[in-house]
Structure 1
Amino acid sequence: MKILVITNLYPPQILGGYERSIADFARLLQQRGHELLVLTSDTPAFFSSHPNPYSEPQVERCLLLCGQWHPERGPEWFSEQRIADVKRQNSQTLTQHLQAFQPDVCLVGNATFLPVELLEQVLAVPIAIAHYVMNAHPGYLPSLTPQSPLYRYITCSDWVSGLLQQQGYPAATAQTIYPGAAIEAFYQADLPPRDRLRIAYASLVMPYKGADILVEALCLLQAVGIEFTATIAGGTFQPEFVQALQQLSKSEGLQDCIHFPGVLSRQELCELYQRCNVLVFPSRFEEPFGISQVEAMAAGLTLITSGTGGSREIVEHGQDGLIFETENPLDLAECLSALPTQPDAWETMTRKGQQKAISHFSQTIAVEQLESLLSALSRTPAKSSHP
């Protein structure tokens, strides 16, 4: 197939897991023999390393966005006049690429700040669209949803599918395809040492991700004499938040136990997981999925998660991981402190988690499901010849 990918950001320009997942899908689809063209924006402010073992498809950073992300105020839309100019330029750009590339099907990723008219333009060819949604909404209001049988939602979790329907999006036929993790990159045959708690956190270090909940739980462990080390890895848009966590750690005498290395590459993250035996995922935000959980499980770490949103679909409490009460550092501390007291149960649960990551959440499974859906969409009856 000739697959057109449209998404607002593409590595190495990323905000998080959404961009990484779309890129991994594009690379893996190309690896499986398909021809891909990625249309995205040029937003270098979000540059981050994202090495991978597969060759990159053709990427054109030619689209313009209708807004920007402010580090404190969040998403901000541009003026109406500027948005009108963006829409006009994007339409011309898309027309040129549709005529030159002649795609069979289109995969849409994160559509935030992309005008919905781009989707309508693709559907009018007509070319079927599979819109992979990894956020709480697809990037536009329900009233703006493209009304075409060629437009199909894919979601990263059943929770996202249900949420879309609750908001009024036509997601009753949405197919859940878990984004999957690079299992091969993270898998370790030998479990990490469990001589003491070696705790990892790997996400944006922001209030909504709950890093402060973890630090508070660690203070509780310190108070009762439980030995541990912890690494809180990830970038931030609020340096003052990280500084506050560092100050709290220092005031509690934990500066030698808790480390803040910042953003890690995939290789550095693999090395971190080789040194740790627990991943804490303390998000207070309703997570659409949570790929870092699967990566850590594949590496042989025990997952302790707040289980918000779609992240709860990854783990069964007490069987292949633990779920603690959201925003409750005491409950988190109790989950952590219980592990060393039951070493055999700890190992059994960890191995079950690792096997689940391999059998349910690999990128190989995900890309096969996506390939099948794209193939079916490319053969829909409404498909006609290109201009």
Structure 2
Amino acid sequence: MRIVYILAGAGGMYCGACNRDADLVNGIVKKGLDIELIPLYTPLRHDNEQPLQTSRIFYGGIITFLEQRLKIFRHTPAFFDYLFDNPTLLKILGKFTIATQPQKLGAMTVSVLAGKDGNQKKELQKLIEYLQTVKPDVINITNSMLSGIAVSLKEALNIPIVCTFQGEEAFIDSLSEPHRTQAKNLLESNAQSIDHFIVPHNRYVDEIISYLKISRDKMSVILPGVDHQRFVFQDSCDQSGKIGYLSRIAPEKGLDTLLEAFSILHKKNNDLTLHIAGQIYVKSFWEKMQKYIKKNKLTEHVIYHGELTLKQKQQFLQQCNVFCVPSKFNESRGLAILEAVATGTPVVVPPMGIYPQIVEDTQHGIIADPATPENFASCINDALQNEAKYRGENRDIFLQKYGLTRMVDEIILLYEGLVSKKT
């Protein structure tokens, strides 16, 4: 069985989806299966210590943008386009585009979802021609935002197409009209060319059935998996009073809620410290948070660690007594929370997305419901006071439900079933 995995690079930003995909591909390779990774838009950035073997980049971020803006680039020859697909150039591009607002990407989103009818049809044809030489037995596209390619791939290759759904509806719903409706309609239409969808948690199933107008038998729930060997589990922490946040710094991730909660806690216990790490995704939001920190006299008690390497992240999580990312949207993967649980660190999460399922499965934290600053403060205090209880003894349950090996095995089994039906 030859597998092709198509995913979108996130430019200069670390992203949970990229880490999950990198771990999945490496896990499949270790099983001795033939898999090729094809990045779109930009090079990949991930935590994996071993470099991933990939094809060249398709749908290069620069040429794709130019094709959207200027008609002349929709007809340029391939050798000219390759000049813009240089990985180093695309990495530089990624550093300057990470804070692009969804409202400004509506036309581009609709065009890519339109596939062969969009402004990037030249890039689609390049991808099809390449895949015709690879001759895969099954293709997995990493999210439904890439579903525009599925229709043409199905027509050209006539093989099973799998799509992993990872919360794209939040992005689509953030677009301005008429692009929001156009994109949603294209998603529904493209879904008919996809043989099977992978969704990351049980609470997501009914929502996706309604959103894409697909039947339940076209969906499998496969929980995200974490490489537990990358994180050292510890049933105690030699620190005290350290609260951690590790995620991109943007309004939707809820750092403002956590800072308000920390301010409440700090008035009762000035020995507490809040440790923040992650890429500054929205600079204006971070500046607002800094003003809040200064206004509430928390400067000496809130420490920003910047972006972290894998080794630094491992140390960061191990040194936290409690970990919290109070996201304001339905997180579909929750990998930051899973990595904290993998180290033994108790978590406090909002009642949204996959978070409640992780806590209920592992008994490794508290669900802050309602997700107000006051309730987060109360729940964090509970976790600090009862840290040993929430660190728990549920390592085996965690590995069984959220281990990388389990995820890899389930996805391979899905691929094999689809390929056997085709033959």
TM range (shorter): 0.7 to 0.9
**Within 5 A, what are the aligned runs for 1:133-144?**
133-137=165-169, 141=185, 142-144=187-189
1:263-295 residue CA offsets vs partner (Å, 9 max, x unmatched): 212221101012112111211111113111111
Match of 1:132 in 2: 164
Match of 1:260 in 2: 304
Provide the secondary structure at the position in 2 that maps to 1:23.
helix
Match of 1:76 in 2: 105
Q: Distance in 2 between matches of 1:302 and 1:242?
A: 26
**Within 5 A, what are the aligned runs for 1:49-128?**
50-64=46-60, 65=64, 71-74=100-103, 76-78=105-107, 84=117, 86-112=119-145, 114=146, 116=148, 118-124=149-155, 125-128=157-160
Provide the secondary structure at the position in 2 that maps to 1:379.
helix
Provide the secondary structure at the position in 2 that maps to 1:62.
coil
Match of 2:415 in 1: 374
> Residue 150 of structure 2 contacts residue 190 of structure 2 at CA under 8 Å; is this kept in 1?
no
Match of 2:390 in 1: 349
Q: Distance in 2 between matches of 1:261 and 1:361?
A: 28
> Residue 69 of structure 1 contacts residue 76 of structure 1 at CA under 8 Å; is this kept in 2?
no
Q: Distance in 2 between matches of 1:19 and 1:62?
A: 16
Q: Which amino acid aligns with 1:284?
A: K
Q: Distance in 1 between matches of 2:389 and 2:49?
A: 32
**Cα deviation, residue 52, structure 1:** 1.4
Match of 2:350 in 1: 306
**Cα deviation, residue 152, structure 1:** 0.3
Higher helix share: 2
Which of 201, 209, 221 lines up with 2:245 in the alignment?
Answer: 201
Provide the secondary structure at the position in 2 that maps to 1:199.
strand
**Cα deviation, residue 61, structure 1:** 0.6
Provide the secondary structure at the position in 1 that maps to 2:281.
coil
Match of 1:179 in 2: 224
**Cα deviation, residue 358, structure 1:** 2.3
> Residue 278 of structure 1 contacts residue 303 of structure 1 at CA under 8 Å; is this kept in 2?
yes
Question: What's the % identity of the aligned pairs?
Answer: 21
Provide the secondary structure at the position in 2 that maps to 1:273.
helix
Provide the secondary structure at the position in 2 that maps to 1:7.
strand
> Residue 243 of structure 2 contacts residue 321 of structure 2 at CA under 8 Å; is this kept in 1?
yes
Match of 1:3 in 2: 3
Change over 3 Å in CA distance of 1:110–1:143 after alignment to 2: closer
Change over 3 Å in CA distance of 1:26–1:263 after alignment to 2: same
Q: Which amino acid aligns with 1:133?
A: F
Change over 3 Å in CA distance of 1:231–1:274 after alignment to 2: same
**Cα deviation, residue 340, structure 1:** 4.2
> Residue 303 of structure 1 contacts residue 322 of structure 1 at CA under 8 Å; is this kept in 2?
yes
Q: Distance in 2 between matches of 1:14 and 1:220?
A: 32
> Residue 278 of structure 2 contacts residue 306 of structure 2 at CA under 8 Å; is this kept in 1?
yes
Match of 1:279 in 2: 323
**Within 5 A, what are the aligned runs for 1:312-323?**
312-316=356-360, 319-323=363-367
1:64-94 residue CA offsets vs partner (Å, 9 max, x unmatched): 5577876334461447889756442133212
Provide the secondary structure at the position in 1 that maps to 2:299.
coil
1:278-336 residue CA offsets vs partner (Å, 9 max, x unmatched): 11121111111311111101101001111312221101299431011254011111112
1:209-254 residue CA offsets vs partner (Å, 9 max, x unmatched): 1001110011001112252121111113211211221222222222
Q: Which amino acid aligns with 2:264?
A: L
**Cα deviation, residue 62, structure 1:** 1.5
Match of 1:23 in 2: 22
Q: Which amino acid aligns with 1:244?
A: K
Higher strand share: 1
Provide the secondary structure at the position in 2 that maps to 1:316.
helix
> Residue 5 of structure 2 contacts residue 35 of structure 2 at CA under 8 Å; is this kept in 1?
yes
> Greater shift after overlay, 276-285 or 353-362?
353-362
**Cα deviation, residue 130, structure 1:** 1.5
**Cα deviation, residue 17, structure 1:** 1.1
Match of 2:199 in 1: 155
**Within 5 A, what are the aligned runs for 1:206-221?**
206-221=250-265
TM-score, length-scaled by structure 2? 0.79
Q: Distance in 1 between matches of 2:393 and 2:337?
A: 14
Q: Distance in 2 between matches of 1:321 and 1:17?
A: 21
Change over 3 Å in CA distance of 1:318–1:123 after alignment to 2: closer
Q: Distance in 1 between matches of 2:37 and 2:361?
A: 39
Q: Which amino acid aligns with 1:100?
A: T
TM-score, length-scaled by structure 1? 0.86
**Cα deviation, residue 56, structure 1:** 1.3
Q: Distance in 1 between matches of 2:361 and 2:288?
A: 32
Provide the secondary structure at the position in 2 that maps to 1:131.
strand
Match of 2:338 in 1: 294
